[in-house]
């Protein structure tokens, strides 16, 4: 059975879409695509159907990531479909908990930065209103967290 992971941020155009792109590449590099289903979504539907933010795509491309996900909002079905739902910050986590249809589905919610092994971060900051350094910082954190997540989902690790 595939491990189904959903990454969530506010609008699904910066952080969660980047986490999805990074995780997809790590899984592919490990030759484990058949083991995972990876997606991302946003709390809000404001950017629904849009590609990730052009600045984030540019920063990600410099590191070899192609971000092609189209923004979509979190749905109730996501709580039943995914095994792990990872929020980027406290607001995302609270919004997810508020939307969880049952205590069982609420237990699927986790904090993305809990998987960091190198970077000390308690959340993934939203780079939307900042400059280049913010986008680079987000990618740094997400690379660390996604690698930690993959390691945690590796048998025998």
For 40-97, the pLDDT digits (tens) are 999 999 999 999 999 999 999 999 999 999 999 999 999 999 999 999 999 999 999 9
* pLDDT bucket at 156, cuts 50 / 70 / 90: confident
pLDDT for residue 96: 98
pLDDT digits over 24-46, tens only? 999 999 999 999 999 999 999 99
100-111 average pLDDT score: 98
Whole-Å CA distances, 111 to 34, 77, 87, 107: 24, 20, 5, 12
Q: 0.95 exceeded by the pTM?
A: yes
Which residues are designated catalytic? 9, 15, 126
Q: Which residue has the tokens 């052009």?
A: 54
Contact between 54 and 93 under an 8 Å Cβ cutoff? The reply is no
Of the candidates 118, 53, 132, 43, the one whose C-alpha atom is nearest the C-alpha of residue 85 is: 43
pLDDT for residue 55: 97
Asked whether the predicted pLDDT for residue 157 surpasses 70, the reply is no
Q: How far apart are CA 86 and CA 43, in angstroms?
A: 12
Over pLDDT 90: what percentage of the chain? 95
DSSP conformational letter for 40: E
Asked whether the predicted pLDDT for residue 124 surpasses 90, the reply is yes
Whole-Å CA distances, 64 to 22, 32, 36, 96, 126: 9, 19, 21, 30, 21
pLDDT for residue 155: 84
């Amino acid at each position: 059975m595939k491990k189904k992971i959903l990454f969530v941020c506010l609008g699904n155009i910066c952080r969660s879409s980047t986490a999805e792109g990074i995780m997809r590449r790590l899984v592919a590099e490990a030759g484990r695509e058949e083991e995972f289903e990876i997606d991302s979504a946003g709390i809000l539907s404001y950017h629904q159907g849009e590609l990730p933010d052009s600045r984030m795509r540019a920063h990600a491309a410099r590191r070899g990531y192609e971000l092609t996900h189209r923004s979509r909002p979190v749905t109730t079905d996501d709580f039943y479909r995914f095994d792990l739902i990872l929020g980027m910050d406290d607001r995302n986590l609270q919004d997810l908990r508020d939307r969880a249809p049952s205590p069982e589905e609420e237990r699927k919610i986790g904090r993305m930065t809990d998987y960091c092994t190198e970077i000390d971060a308690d959340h993934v900051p939203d780079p939307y209103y900042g400059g280049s350094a913010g986008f680079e910082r987000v990618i740094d954190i997400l690379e660390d967290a996604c690698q930690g997540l993959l390691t945690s989902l590796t048998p025998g690790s």
